[in-house]
Amino acid sequence: MNEQELQARVDAASEGRARARVDGGRVGIVLDATGLSAAQRDEAEQAVRRAAADAGASEVRVAVTAERVRRRLVAIASGKGGVGKSTLAANLAVALARGGGRVGLVDADIYGPSQPRLMAAEGVRPEARDKQLLPVPTPYGLPMLSIGQLVEPGRALAWRGPMAAGALGQLVEADWGAADTLVLDLPPGTGDVQLTMVQKYKPAGAVIVSTPQDLALIDARRAIDLFNTAGVPIIGLVENMAGYACPHCGEVSDPFGRGGAEAEAERLGVPFLGRVPLDIAIRTASDAGKPPAAADDDRIFAPVAAQLRDWLATR
């Protein structure tokens, strides 16, 4: 058996992940499975076995090695519900993936898990393998898992902090394959559930979402305090539903005033990451499972994602 030909076949079968050695009639292959999911790992192993057999090997041994992918969490949080936290989490994850990031999306919002709908994965149940969940694919180039895929709607409502954190563990410790960044949609609010989750799964940083109203900003301040308590850096504040674009005449008005969130961010010493307008198109696209960030003409979420990417790059 020609070792060069064998290596060429094995290379083709594994996208260059395998090294083959001929030892008599036997072939030994070392396969680097770093970043592959369990299913991809099995597939790659079978592919190199077949390639070696095709090259004439009668006995093939495959040793699979893998470096641990270091994964970080980015929390998307808000002091209260209904401010667009889930919308922002979905669109930031999609925008990061579009920019070439290896991203996964974790929906930990036990009070109203909406990521399956936002990401067009409603009704899809994740399978488990070796007691590890397998994230489900989405049409937008990134895998996701939602607490809503594990429990009946409404069941998680009464969970206390430690229970919720335990369930979050199953999501975070799933088989995320090559994803090195997990965007985490946290439950809204600043209670014991959120603090336990944040302390246990220490995100690398947090993005706080707020609407322009004063009350929401007070809630945003509480959210910032929660992350400060847990020693998690604030990546920045995003103002959602900022300015209203009239669908009829196009005029942009600011029913809740303008610049409040930006001024507040400055006062609090946290970066201001941008404004997302209140736009009916965002709601209808979200309800239809088509995140606006997936569109080529997205000018709203991409700039926020770019700042998030820059922040992560400096860590």
Residue ranges binding ligand ADP (CB under 6 A): 78, 81-87, 114, 188, 240-241, 276, 278-279, 282-283, 286
DSSP per position, 183-196: EEEPPSSSSHHHHH
Q: 3-class DSSP state for residue 133?
A: strand
- When the beta carbons of 177 and 189 are compared against ligand ADP, the nearer one is 189
Residue with Cβ nearer ligand ADP (180 or 279):
279
Q: Where are the alpha helices (DSSP H) in the chain?
A: 3-14, 38-54, 85-98, 115-118, 161-172, 192-201, 214-230, 260-268, 280-287, 301-313
Smallest CA-to-CA distance from 208 within 147, 142, 267, 261 is with 261
The CA–CA distances, whole Å, from 35 to 176, 191, 192, 308 equal 8, 35, 34, 22
Q: How far is the CB of 242 from ligand ADP (least distance, A)?
A: 8
In the complex, minimum distance from the CB of residue 111 to ligand ADP, in angstroms, rounded to a whole number: 8
Rounded to the nearest 5 percent, the helix, strand and coil shares of the chain are 40, 25, 35
When the beta carbons of 20 and 168 are compared against ligand ADP, the nearer one is 168
Residue 190 CB, shortest distance to ligand ADP, in Å, is 13
- How far apart (Å, rounded) are the C-alpha atoms in residues 233 and 190? 16
Cα dihedral across residues 83, 72, 146, 306: positive or negative: positive
Q: Nearer Cβ to ligand ADP, position 14 or 86?
A: 86
Q: Alpha-carbon dihedral of residues 202, 203, 204, 205, nearest 10 degrees?
A: -120
Give least dist CB 293 to ligand ADP, A: 12
* Shortest reach from residue 290's CB to ligand ADP, in Å: 12
Cβ closer to ligand ADP: 162 or 257? 257
At closest approach, how far in Å is the CB of 81 from ligand ADP? 4
**Is the Cβ of residue 35 or residue 274 nearer to ligand ADP in the bound state?**
274
Q: How far is the CB of 165 from ligand ADP (least distance, A)?
A: 19
Of 140, 245, 226, nearest in space to 183 by CA: 140
**Nearest CB to ligand ADP, comparing residues 96 and 278:** 278
